[in-house]
Amino acid sequence: MVSSANAHAAAGRRPLVVGNWKMNGTRVSCVELLAGLRAAGPFDAEVSVCCPFPYLADVALSLQGSGIGWGAQDCSQHEPGAYTGEVAAVMLAEFGCRHVIVGHSERRLHHAESDTLVADKARLALSHGLTPIVCVGETRAERDAGSTELVVKRQLSAVIHTLGHCVSQIVVAYEPVWAIGTGLTATPQQAQAVHAVLRAQLLAASTRAGEMRLLYGGSVNAGNAQELFAQPDIDGALVGGASLKVADFSAICRAASHVALGSIGKSRT
């Protein structure tokens, strides 16, 4: 049996760790955090940070030439125009963004974003050369009701319908809502079970789905990252609170680097 780490490599999936700073930070703290992250690298995994819009210029300047990417936490579903307060995907591309998060549960909850809206954002992001990180996940009530698979497949289905064969160009992040910022984390086995469902759904839509990276998010930390990354369909993490601490985020990146080097799971047969 191929080890979990080797399963990632065999499929050509380089581990990816993305920091989601949410609405946190100051210009001073951001620069200090990025300086610490640069000093902790380089990493063999791909690493990216998604910062608040006002800090994009500072982040781009701080990370230029570091090998660490940067991105945003959202984008508009519209091209530039009369949409006060919105930020267009083409604007993010001008700042050198590599990734943009769409459909985070906090956006779905606090801004009433629908599955269709999330899919439209992903489509525009792709059209401007950005890689959308599409978030899916269930609430505690939905999990308790046994609806986890139904919910995540519904959320992803809208994106597949909108993007068609281009869906293979996105990153999918499974973030159980009940584990975001709560200190609770899905067990590696629970997370892998959902990732396997998502992988199968994507494989039915694209022959390249085996190459797509699926991330886990929800209270990922230095203590649980390695076991999560050892699962065959978990290719990295979307990290919230821990991404604001250099030591914690660096440790998560190093755990993902071990996967990139094929050093997790070698003892398994």
Which residues are tagged catalytic? 104, 175
Q: Transcribe 3-30 into DSSP letters.
A: -HHHHHHHTT---EEEEE--S---HHHH
The angle formed by the CA atoms of residues 175, 152 and 197, to the nearest 5 degrees, is 95
SS3 84: coil
Report the distance separating Cα 72 and Cα 205, nearest Å.
Answer: 27
Is the distance from CB of 11 to CB of 232 less than 8 angstroms? no
Give me the phi and psi of 232, to 5 degrees please: -65, -25
Buried b (16+ CB within 10 A) or exposed e, 9-38: bebebebbbbbbbbeebeeeebbebbeebb
Please report, as a single letter, which amino acid is at residue 39.
A
The DSSP bridge pattern shows strands 16-20 and 236-239 to be parallel
- Tokens standing for 265? 């799971």
Nearest Cα to Cα of residue 253 among 13, 42, 31: 42
Q: Is 7 left (phi over 0), alpha (psi -120 to 50) or beta?
A: alpha
